[in-house]
A and B are shown apart, each in its own frame.
Chain A
């Protein structure tokens, strides 16, 4: 698989002197679904902002499809990396759901039928197709969050980054986001998601990156990262493997990070 994004020795220090990243080396591949976890302040949001140029590495470099991002405008990088922020209210301004979703795609130059199709597909993905004419602020918080997600999906970028998409979502909302992540991966797009929800991460992602104090301390598939041998490392950044993994461990079934893995292991026994 080709490398979509590559971070080489990336360090980042905020202007006030806070070091948020140190020596981060990562390669993100096409169609890969990556979950990023770590305690508050471990540098997750800072890391993903390096990908679309909102923040520029103070050490090392970031390349997208082999091209160095240094000196490339954020508006240009937005063609490659779509980033959905945690708080939808920091972006919603349009008078209707449809025009809010169209904003990003329009900025990237899509017009006419192409734009309509992208907007419609994004609305359907988040289940807001019936609300196209609604004022965004008439939707509740969780649906505004889905709206913000749709506005990124409509940009149809090869890389999609979601900063804590599941906060405030009920079980159905989480399921919907899981489906979206799955289908993005199937169409060959790279999905990077920051989350504090270990169950969501273990169920939906092929690769889990664990951060602590600005460094990547674990990087691998859920079955490795959530294995008992790494419980100490996880605890050091105030994380705990998902319930299914801990249950499997205590039942002596090996590492069963997802519920289906746990069920399979139980059935096999």
Chain B
């Protein structure tokens, strides 16, 4: 057992920030996304924790244990804390600003493009998937019937998804070239990013705190929770 203070402390910080930023509602989908993982963590740990003997109840060949349950809840807290901090970053950071800033700090243009398009593709893909589902349903594809009937919709739904993603690559390449993506030399930005001294100090403070924390824990003086 690794302890509760880490994940719970993290959760408390993230939730406090989310509430202060009024992002409670917006974080719900991220929380939902962890659900499959959380459920499997709970089941596997509670019922199959190796070596645990303090039974709660027995269901056929497996039994739930208190040790397993505690471990499961801790792991859940960790997953949720992680998911919510990612959510917080996603919901509070303007991706364009982040990427501009990374470029200014000397990260390669190609690397930034890869990061940027990976982040930006997701919502676009979700939107496109919605349009495709609508278009096929409008042509009588049954997406509300039995599982068997729905299984027949895989090709009509996946087909346009893949094909349009592929055809988009070419368009994107041309659009990028037309805007001098591969031009040599360092680029400058017209749009300065506001970076107040307080923010800068906070960033450095957090960075130093992280270094100190890791140092203390590696040296064994303060075991990382």
Known: A89-B163, A90-B131, A92-B163. A75 touches B137 (CB 8 A): yes
Given contacts A75-B140, A75-B144, 9 further A-B contacts (CB under 8 A): A52-B138, A54-B134, A75-B143, A78-B137, A90-B164, A91-B136, A91-B160, A93-B159, A155-B139
Set of chain A residues within 8 Å of B109, measured between Cβ atoms: none
CB distance from A47 to the nearest CB of B (A): 15
Tell me, in angstroms, the Cα distance from A52 to B159 when the chains sit together: 23
Q: Are A82 and B138 in contact (CB under 8 A)?
A: yes
Q: How far is the CA of A75 from the CA of B142 in the complex (A)?
A: 5
| A205 at interface by CB-CB < 8 Å | no
B158 contact set on A, CB distance < 8 A: 93
Interface contact A73-B144, CB-CB below 8 Å: yes
Residues of A within 8 A of B141 (CB): 75, 107
CB of B128 within 8 A of chain A? yes
**Given the contacts A75-B144, A75-B145, A89 and B160 also touching, CB distance less than 8 Å:** yes
Complex interface residues of chain A between 29 and 77 (CB less than 8 A to chain B): 49, 52, 54, 73-75
CA distance A79 to B145 in the complex (A): 16
- Nearest residue in A to B167 (C-beta to C-beta)? A89
The answer to whether residues A92 and B139 also contact, given A74-B144, A85-B131 and a CB cut-off of 8 A, is no
The A-B contact count (CB < 8 A) is 76
Is A155's CB under 8 angstroms from B140's CB? yes
Give chain B's interface secondary structure class.
Answer: helix
Contacts of B155-179 to chain A: CB distance below 8 A: 155-160, 163-164, 167
23 contacts between A and B (CB under 8 A): A54-B138, A73-B145, A74-B144, A75-B144, A79-B140, A82-B139, A83-B138, A89-B167, A90-B160, A91-B132, A91-B136, A91-B139, A91-B156, A91-B160, A92-B160, A93-B157, A93-B159, A103-B139, A103-B156, A107-B142, A137-B163, A137-B167, A152-B138
**Contact: A104 with B160, CB < 8 Å?**
no
A46 CB, nearest partner CB in chain B, Å: 12
Say yes or no for A204: interface residue by CB 8 A criterion.
Answer: no
Give the residue name and chain of the A residue nearest to B144 (CB).
Answer: A73
Give Cα A107–Cα B143 distance, bound, in whole angstroms. 12
Which listed residue (B134, B142, B145, B164) contacts A89, Cβ 8 A? B164
Interface residues of A in 81-107 (CB under 8 A from B): 82-83, 85, 87, 89-94, 103-104, 107
> Please, how many residues of chain B have a CB less than 8 angstroms from a CB on the other chain?
24
In angstroms, how far is the closest chain B Cβ from the Cβ of A9? Answer: 24
Tell yes or no: B224 within 8 A of A by CB: no
The smallest C-beta distance from B138 to any residue of chain A, in angstroms, reads: 4
With a CB–CB cut-off of 8 A, which chain B residues contact A54? 134, 137-138
Find out whether the CB atom of A90 lies under 8 angstroms from the CB atom of B138: no
A126-B160 Cα distance, complex, nearest whole Å: 22
CB of B135 within 8 Å of the partner chain: yes
Query: Taking the complex as formed, is A108 at the interface, i.e. its CB lies under 8 A from any CB of chain B?
Result: yes
Least Cβ–Cβ distance between B194 and chain A, in angstroms: 28
Say which residue of B137, B156, B157, B164 sits within 8 Å of A74 (CB atoms).
B137
Known: A73-B144, A89-B163. A152 touches B155 (CB 8 A): no
